[in-house]
Structure 1
Amino acid sequence: MNGRAIDLAVVGGGLAGGLSALAVHRAHPEMQIALFEAGETLGGNHRWSWFGSDLDPAGAELLSLYRRTEWNQGYDVAFPGYQRTLGAGYRSLASSDFDETMRRELPPQAIRLRSRVSQLSPDGVTLESGERIAARVVVDCRDFEPSPHLRGGWQLFMGRHLRSREPHGLTRPIIMDARVHQHGAYRFVYTLPLSPDELFVEDTYYADSPELDRDALSQRIDRYCEAMGWRGETIGGETGVLPVITGGDFAAYHTGLGEPGIVRSGARAGFTHPLTSYTLPFAIANALELARHAHLPGDRIANLFDHRARDHWRATGFYRSLGRMLFDAARPEERYRVFGRFYRLREPLVERFYAGRSTAADRLRVLSGKPPVPVFAAIRALLGKGSPLVHERSQ
């Protein structure tokens, strides 16, 4: 970097940051890019999954560069008294494969690991080491931080990568198995058959508190695997705490992110699905949008992304309303009824819901009929504010 200003500084080497850097490099290989990540690898320790219908052809083409697992025979959901197989294809990407692809596709000098950024400004970044890197465009793709300006609950999860002693026999993902004890939250188990003898089993909770009890969740995964007849050795795993945003003052939240002129993308900028906490379709769309406008001055790109964030907030209001009903109208042990009723609806509606593209007819259909929560409780929830997202994350 020899003291000259680079074209693009991307801060945060997770999904949003990595995709942004890769999309810009592919579209503009002449540009000098730096991707700053505080950790030892890109992508951290995560697994991202999505439905085949979530992405347009350009998004699918960008993700085709990554080694991933695909299932094209549909997926299953299960609730007390009700099971269903849906036909959409499903995809999953491990962070180790994300890291490998990023190292292969980006110039080596573009990847700055163990480089924690202490300060961002529209014209560059400063590392904790004191090094200052001038940049024409600065993109903030760091993780979400809790804020008193936002309301909602939490999605907690623990995933285990298991190698079974013998073939497990599972051929399709189980996206939601809510036939489990709810433990004071909407709980379901999510299972991906990665190979004939490998499984990824994740225990997930829509909970009021971000407190994650690792020992308890590990024991519950043990019991679930035993009940399913899956025995073997653990070869990996992950835990996480994600926000489920049900409301708030987005303008105040966005203003609090920092000074204007910095391009903001990813979960910190609000580009999530408020109810599912999915980020991948929005990270892909933002990466491609950044690549289309990468030659513009940084302040113009920042302004464009500020408008995108506000538009996204407005467009996803329906999902925040459903989140308030989930957290504030349903008793924790009966929150599963909300999703159980949803999964009885037509499959195209379900696909558009997960992609964040529900139509007006979809929204009407979701809200029509006998509600899965008490009517007056639902009205109170919709009129209420919800709980502030200010809890500290569990360590």
Structure 2
Amino acid sequence: MDDSRQTDGSGHVPAHDLVIVGGGLAGGLIALALHRYAPGCRFLLVEAGRTLGGHHRWSWFETDLRLQARQLMDGFALNGWDEGYDITFPRLGRTLPTAYRSLASAEFHRALMAELPEDRVMLGAKAATVDADGVTLADGTRIDARRVIDCRAFRPSQHLAGGWQVFLGQHFRCEDPHGLTRPVIMDASVDQVAPYGNEAAYRFVYVLPLSPTEVFVEDTYYADQPKMDAEVLKGRIADYARRHGWKGEVIDQEAGILPVVSGGSFRAAQAEITIPGVALAGARGGFSHPLTSYTLPFAADNALAIARLLANRPGISGNELAAFCAARAKRHWRATAYYRMLSRMLFEAAEPDKRVVVFEHFYALRGRLVERFYAGRSTWPDRLRILTGKPPVAIPRAIRALFSSGKPFKTETPA
């Protein structure tokens, strides 16, 4: 794409109703929702990379999304499995019936670029500064706007507590059919050791059959530190593929380190990154599942809410939009308090090599309860059921974790 079409030749970009900073999942879905449901809004989506969505794969259960959110995703070519998914633990193997969906970032980019007007997207444009009146790019270009939404990446804070979900996934093209018909959301029968030193961590392998001969295999672990040894993870994935008889070539790879938030002061953390008059969305704005780190259901809901607001109140100010998003973030923080408590149970009450028992206990419960858990809509009976029965952790440690504010994030630079 020729980004020069955005300027008037002097380096100055004409004013927009809204500038969305960050073309990842949250920013891209906001742009899509505005295009479909608030066509009068002159928005611009600004992304530092050369493609929208980065290099990721987002997955979710079909029941995570409400009807309109499903409709918002209709334009994407999704991988889907209606026959359910499998989980495997040392003492538990089970198939659950919930349909599962997955979206690759390459398809996210392709679909958005095909649907959004060409002049609404600016790629390769890194934001140097953001303020209530617009964005200044690293090359000095100024983009003026009536409103700004900051959808850049999550930034760890000393005011938040928790651990990390670390993963590396590889897309294999197999020489012969791999034989899978359903995703394996968690295969926790693997060794429960982090890929650095001898530190234990809850570890599992995640498998998506993308076609009869293509499979995505991801090695994931929950750990106290944001460390990744990519070569060790690649070796583990290769061993897993060999054990299952999958021979072939790696055609793509992705990796990431996601926060698993267990507590802290949301107000203080947001104060560190809030820019007066600028709205926050996405993981940066606090919109993720504290335990699973899933973001897509919340990103879709936020995109639709913002589009409805701007369609109904086209004259709303930037300060009002910022307050609207901040109020949604506060409600989300309150609504997900239960999941943060479970995160504390995982990181503080369970010994690292016993964390697998916590998940094994959870996945033995009823399928509908599991569905509501992932969607962030657990009922009070669900919450009680998760905490009843033979406790998977020592009761004194569980009580301490229950009343703890969480372990502050360890934010060392990943290896």
Distance apart, 1:301 and its partner CA: 1.4
Deviations for 1:111-148, whole angstroms, at most 9, x for unmatched residues? 11110001111111111111111111101111101110
Q: Which residue pairs with 1:62 in the alignment?
A: 72
Checking the alignment, whether the CA contact within 8 Å between 1:148 and 1:389 is kept in structure 2 is yes
Match for residue 308 of structure 2? Answer: 292
Counterparts of 1:145-294 in structure 2, within 5 Å, are 145-183=155-193, 184-294=200-310
- Alignment partner of 1:48 out of 52, 55, 58: 58
1:6 aligns with one of 4, 10, 16 = 16
Contact kept, 8 Å, 1:161 with 1:200, in 2: the verdict is yes
Q: Is the aligned partner of 1:324 residue 2:340?
A: no
Q: Which amino acid is 2:57 matched to?
A: R
Separation of aligned partners in 2, 1:38 and 1:389:
27
SS of alignment partner, residue 67 of structure 1: coil
Q: Say if 1:194 and 1:208 are closer, same or farther in 2 by CA, change over 3 A.
A: same
- Give the Cα separation in 1 of the matches to 2:46 and 2:16: 13
What is the aligned-residue RMSD (CA, Å)?
Answer: 1.1
TM-score for the superposition, normalised by structure 2: 0.93
Paired with 1:71 and 1:64, the residues of 2 have a C-alpha distance of: 15
**Quick check: 2:225–2:410 contact (8 Å CA) kept in 1?**
no
Amino acid at match of 1:258: T
Cα distance in structure 2, aligned partners of 1:218 and 1:350: 30
Change (3 A) 1:374 1:146: same
> 1:352 is matched with which residue: 369, 372, 376?
372
Aligned residue for 1:81?
Answer: 91
1:31 aligns with one of 25, 35, 41: 41
1:387 paired with 2:403, answer no
Q: Deviations over 1:84-117 (max 9, x none)?
A: 0000000000000000011001111111111000
AA partner of residue 327 (structure 1):
F
Gaps of 5+ in 1: none
User: Is contact 1:242-1:277 (8 Å) kept?
Assistant: yes
* Unaligned ranges ≥5, structure 2: 1-5, 194-199
Aligned pair 1:364/2:364, yes or no?
no
Offset at 1:31? 2.5
Residue pair 2:207, 2:215 contacting (<8 A) in 1 also: yes
Between the aligned partners of 1:389 and 1:133, the Cα distance in structure 2 is 35
**2:293 match: secondary structure:** coil
Q: Secondary structure at the match of 1:129?
A: coil
What does 1:112-151 align with in structure 2 at a 5 Å threshold? 112-151=122-161
Deviation at 1:383, TM superposition (A): 2.2
- Runs of 4 or more above 4 Å deviation: none
| Matched letter for residue 153 of structure 1 | G
CA shift for structure 1 position 245: 0.2
> Does the CA-based 8 Å contact 2:224-2:410 persist in structure 1?
no
Give the distance between the partners of 1:257 and 1:352, measured in 2 at CA: 31
Using the TM superposition, name which of 258-267 and 62-71 deviates more: 258-267
Deviates more, 1:26-35 or 1:126-135: 26-35
Q: Which moved more, 1:62-71 or 1:22-31?
A: 22-31
**CA deviation after TM superposition for structure 1 residue 390, in Å:** 4.5
Query: Could you report, residue by residue, the CA deviation over 1:22-73 in whole angstroms, capped at 9, with x for unpaired residues?
Result: 1011112232211111111111110000000000110000101111111000
TM-score by length of structure 1 reads 0.98
2:323 to 303, 310, 329: 303
Q: How many residues align?
A: 395
Contact 2:163 2:410 in 1 (8 A): no
Q: How far, CA to CA, are the matches of 1:13 and 1:204 in structure 2?
A: 25
In the TM superposition, residue 394 of structure 1 has moved relative to its aligned partner by 2.0
Native 8 Å contact 1:146 1:392 kept in 2:
no
Q: Give distance in 2, aligned partners of 1:144 and 1:269.
A: 8
**Cα offset for 1:393?**
4.2
1:240 offset after TM fit, Å? 0.3
Does the 8 A contact of 1:147 with 1:390 survive in 2?
Answer: no
Taking the aligned partners of 2:14 and 2:247, their CA distance within structure 1 comes to 56
Superposition deviation, residue 231 in structure 1: 1.3
Instruction: Tell me if 1:97 matches 2:113.
Output: no
